[in-house]
A and B are shown apart, each in its own frame.
Chain A
C-alpha cells in the first residue's frame, strides 16, 4: 500500500517532506504498538469523542457546516473516531454503489427533464433550426448537378439505340418536343462541339452562325407550328428537337461492322463511313440555319436564290426521287479531306471561294509533277472524277 502511495506521489520537490511524514507515521505505529504492549493501567485520554450520530452525520456528509468543522478538528486528532469515520465512509460508498441502479432511473429522468428545460431549449431550438436550414441548402445544392447529369444520360442513351433508318422514322414521327428553350439549347451546343471536333472546317461555319438572326419563341414552340402551312410545318418540324439525336448519334455499330452483308455492301461501307460525318455536318448546318437563321457564309458560295433554295431543300430533306437521281451521297472523304458534290465538281469543304486556285489538267505535265510531289493529290484525283477542288498544304488546286 505504501509502495503504491509512493508511486502516486509525483512531486520531486517535496519528496523529502513525504518521506519524513512516512517516517513519522512508521515511528508512531511502532510507538503505539509498544505502548499497547507495555501500558497496563487502562489509562485513556479522556476527550470528548463524537457520538455515533455525529460520526454518522459526518460520514454521510449531512452535518451542518459549523458542526462539520468541529468534527473535522476532532477527527484530525482522534485516531479512534477517525477510524470509525473511515469505516463508515467506505461502507456508505459501497452502499451508494449498490444503490446506483435504483437511482439511475430517476437520475435519467432528471437528466431528460433538464435536457428539455426552457433554458436549454432557448439555445437548442435556434441551433437545430439553423442546422436544418444549412442541411437542406446543402442537399439542394448537391442535387442540382445530379439532375443535369441524369438528363444528359437519357439523351445519349436513347440516340445510339436507333439505326439510321429508325432515326429518320423517329425524326419524322417524333411528337412535338415538350422541352423548353434552355433544354434544347444545351444539347445543340454540345452537338456542335462534337461536330467541330470531328471536322475542324465546321468551326469556321460556326463563327458565321454565332450571330444568329432573331428568332421568336413562336417559331420554336412546337404547339404553335401545328397551325402553319405544310411547308412551314415541315420547316418547323425540322427545327424541332426530334431530329437532333439523329445528327448527334454516332453510327450504329451493327451497320458498320456487320460482315454478314453482301460484298456490295462491304464495298459501299467505306464510302458510307466517309459520307456519314459529312451528312451529319449537312444536317447540323441545316439545323443551325433553322435555329439561328440563314448561314451568310454559305449564301456567299452561290447566288442568294440558290442559297435559299438549297436551304429549303435541305430542310425538307432529299425526297426518294432525288435520292434515286443522285444515287450516291453528296459528300466524300478522301485522304482525310472532305469533299462536297456541287454539280459536277467535288469541292473541298476547306476551300473558300475567295481563295485563288491553281488549275491543273489531268494528264498534263504539270499534273504529273504535282502528283509526283504530292501522292495524296494523286489518290484524290483518282478517286474523285470530274472537277476536283482540293486544298492541299495551304494552296487550292482545281483539278479538271
Chain B
C-alpha cells in the first residue's frame, strides 16, 4: 500500500530531485502513523490513501532530497525560502540583530549538527511530513527555535495553564484580587468581600477546567492572548460570528456552572451568587479603568525586561 501511494506521490511531484519511491516510503509511513494511526489505529485503507494523496509532493521531495545530501536541492531550498525564514525570524525576534542570528542558525538546525545512529545528520528536516506547506513548517521551526532561545536566555519558565489558574487563585486569596476602591475600611465587610471574591474566582477556575478543549482554547485566545474574535476564530477555523456566538454561550454556561459550584460546594444561596456577580461587575469595571490606562506602561516594562 505504502509503495503504491509513494509512487503516486512521486508521480505528482513536478521535480522529484532524484528521490526514489523506496526513499519516500519511510517518510510516508511516518506521516501516516503520526497523523492517522496514532489517533485512529483502525483507520480505513481509503482514509490512509486519501491522506497520502493530499501530501505536498514537491515540498516533501525537496526536503527528502536535502536530507539525503542533494546539494542542488539545498541550494533551491535556501533560494526559495531564505526570505520566508528571514521574515519569520524578524517576527519572532525583538530586534534586527537577533532576527539575523536566528535566520542564520535555522539552516544549521535544519541540516543538523550532530549525527544520528545511522550516520546521518540529526536535523529537523526529518520531521517534515509534507502534510502542511514547507513555508509554514519553516515558520513554525523558526518560531520554536526562537522560543527555545528565549527560554535559554531568560530562563523563562513555561507554566501550565491549569497550574496557572490554581496559582492565581492562591494569589487572589493572599492578596485582594479586586481591590474595592473607595476604601471604606469595615474590617468584617472587607474580609467577607475577600472571601467571596476568592471563592468566586476559584469556582470560575474550576468551571473553566470543565469546559471542552475548544471552548477553553477560545477563552485563552480571547482573554489571555488578547486576540480579536476574528483572529481567535481563524485559529479555531471558524468565522468571527461563530466565535462570537460561541463566546456568548460560554459566558452563559460559565455563569451557570459557577453558580452551581458556589451553591453546591460553598453553600451559597442563589441571591448571594447574584449579589456577588453584581459586585464583581461594579468593582472590576472600576478596576479595569486604571488598568487600561496603564497598559502601555506595563507593556513597555515587559519589553524592557525582555530586551
Contacts and interface: CB of A to CB of B under 8 A. Distances in A.
Contacts of A27: 168, 171-172, 177
Given A5-B228, A14-B251, A16-B281, 15 more contacts: A16-B284, A19-B288, A20-B204, A45-B158, A45-B159, A62-B54, A62-B132, A67-B35, A75-B213, A76-B161, A77-B216, A84-B140, A86-B235, A90-B234, A93-B234
B221 A53 contact: no
A73 B209 CA distance: 11
Nearest to A85: B235
B28 interface: no
A2 B292 contact: yes
B103 interface: no
Q: Which are the 5 A-B pairs with shortest beta-carbon distances?
A: A14-B251, A66-B39, A52-B140, A73-B213, A76-B217
B22 interface: no
Interface string B32-55: 001110111000000000010010
A372 interface: no
B76 interface: no
Contacts of B287: 23
B98 interface: no
Interface string A51-74: 111111101111110110110110
Given A52-B127, A72-B214, A80-B158, A64 B51 contact: yes
Interface stretch (A34-42, A216-224, A296-304): A34-42
28 contacts: A11-B248, A17-B251, A17-B254, A19-B281, A19-B288, A20-B200, A20-B201, A22-B288, A24-B165, A31-B167, A33-B302, A36-B154, A40-B155, A51-B144, A52-B141, A53-B128, A59-B140, A60-B133, A60-B136, A62-B54, A64-B36, A67-B35, A75-B213, A76-B216, A76-B220, A79-B224, A89-B234, A93-B234
A182 interface: no
A24 B92 contact: no
B59 to A, nearest CB: 11
Contacts of A35: 157, 159
Given A26-B291, A59-B136, A93-B234, A21 B204 contact: yes
B131 interface: yes
A88 interface: yes
A51 B255 contact: no
Contacts of A17: 204, 251, 254-255, 258, 277
A20 B284 contact: yes
A153 interface: no
A62 B204 contact: no
Contact of A88 (B140, B201, B213): B140
A114 B171 CA distance: 60
Please classify how large the interface on chain A is, using the bins under 10, 10 to 19, 20 to 34, 35 or more. Answer: 35 or more
Contacts, number: 233
Nearest to A45: B160
B97 interface: no
A51 B35 contact: no
Nearest to B128: A53
Contacts of B295: 1-2
A86 B228 contact: no
A92 B88 CA distance: 11
A45 B228 CA distance: 28
B164 to A, nearest CB: 5
B224 A25 contact: yes
A59 B143 CA distance: 13
B151 interface: yes
Contacts of B131: 53, 56-57, 62-63
Given A11-B251, A59-B140, A64-B35, A20 B280 contact: yes
B46 to A, nearest CB: 13
Contact of B147 (A4, A56, A80): A80
Contact of A18 (B34, B168, B229, B251): B251
Given A21-B219, A24-B168, A86-B225, A57 B132 contact: yes
B222 interface: yes
Contacts of B39: 64, 66-67, 70
Contacts of A18: 251
Contacts of B160: 45, 47, 77-78
A190 interface: no
Quick one: which of A16, A61, A70, A80 has the most chain B CB within 10 A? A16
A95 B135 CA distance: 10
Quick one: which of A8, A11, A57, A76 has the most chain B CB within 10 A? A76
B252 interface: yes
Contacts of B38: 67
B139 interface: yes
B212 to A, nearest CB: 9
Contacts of B51: 64
